[in-house]
Structure 1
Amino acid sequence: MSKRFEEIDWRPTPMGDISLRRRRDPVTGREVYEVKLGDEFLMSSLFTAGETELARLGLAALPKDAAGPDAAGPAVAELDVAVGGLGLGYTARAVLEDPRVRSLVVVDALPDVIRWHEEKLVPLGGTLVSDGRCRLVRGDFFERAAGTEGLDPRRPGGRLHAILLDVDHSPRHVLHPGHAPFYEEAGLRALSEHLHPGGVFALWSDDPPDEDFTAVLARVFATAEAHVVRFDNPYRPGEESANTVYVAGKGAGT
Structure 2
Amino acid sequence: MDIVFEELDYCETHMGDLMLRKRSIPSLDGKIIYEVKLGEEFLMSSLFHDAEVALSHLGLDSFGTKQVDVVVGGLGLGYTAQAALEFPNLRSLTVIEGLSEVIGWHKRGLVPLGEKLTQDSRCRLLHGDFFELAQSANLDPEHAGRKFHAILLDIDHTPEHFLHLSHGGFYQPEGLEKMARHLHPGGVFALWSDDKPDEGFCKVLESVFASVEAHLVEFDNPILGGTSSNSVYVAYAQ
TM-score above 0.5, yes or no: yes
Q: Deviation per CA, 1:158-179, whole angstroms, max 9, x where unpaired?
A: 0000000000000010000000
Deviation at 1:3, TM superposition (A): 5.8
Residues 131-168 of structure 1: per-residue CA shift (max 9 Å, x gap): 00000000000000000012x23322100000000000
Give the number of equivalent residue pairs.
Answer: 237
Normalising by structure 1, report the TM-score.
Answer: 0.91
Specify whether residues 2 and 135 from structure 1 end up closer, same or farther in structure 2 by C-alpha distance, changes over 3 A only. Answer: farther
Cα distance per residue 1:93-120 (max 9 Å; x no partner): 0000001100000000100000000011
Quick one: distance in 1 between partners of 2:144 and 2:222?
Answer: 44
Partner of 2:45: 44
The answer as to 2:195 corresponding to 1:194 is: no
* 1:228 maps onto 2:229 in alignment: no
Equivalent positions of 1:30-179 (< 5 A) are 30-62=31-63, 64=64, 74=65, 78-150=67-139, 152-179=140-167
CA distance in 2, matches of 1:13, 1:31: 26
Structure 2 unaligned runs (5+)?
none
Q: Check the 8 A contact 2:206/2:212 in 1, yes or no.
A: yes
- SS of 1:243's partner is strand
- Give the unaligned 5+ runs of structure 1: 65-73
Equivalent residue letter for 1:249: Y
- SS of 1:27's partner is helix
Q: Which of the pair is proportionally richer in strand? A: 2
Structure 1 moving runs of 4+ over 3 Å: none
Q: Which residue in 1 is equivalent to 2:235?
A: 248
Q: Is the 8 A contact 2:3 2:25 kept in 1?
A: no
Q: Identity of paired residues, percent? A: 56
CA distance in 1 between counterparts of 2:31 and 2:142 reads 39
What is the aligned-residue RMSD (CA, Å)? 1.2
Counterpart amino acid of residue 24 in structure 2: R
Q: CA deviation at 1:185?
A: 0.3
Change (3 A) 1:2 1:142: farther
SS of the equivalent of 1:33 reads strand
Alignment-mate amino acid for residue 165 of structure 2: P
Per the TM alignment, residue 250 of structure 1 is displaced from its structure 2 partner at its CA by 0.2
- Provide the residue aligned with 1:26 in structure 2: 26
Please tell me whether the aligned partners of residues 61 and 249 of structure 1 are also in contact (alpha carbons under 8 angstroms): no
Q: CA deviation at 1:2?
A: 7.7
**Deviation string, structure 1 residues 225-247 (Cα, Å, up to 9, x no partner):** 1100000111133x110000000
Q: What's the counterpart of residue 173 of structure 2?
A: 185
Distance 2:15 2:172 in 1: 22
Question: Does structure 1 conserve the Cα–Cα contact (< 8 Å) formed by 2:103 and 2:127?
Answer: yes
Render the CA deviation track for 1:202-254: whole Å, top value 9, x for unaligned: 000001111110000001000111100000111133x1100000000001xxx
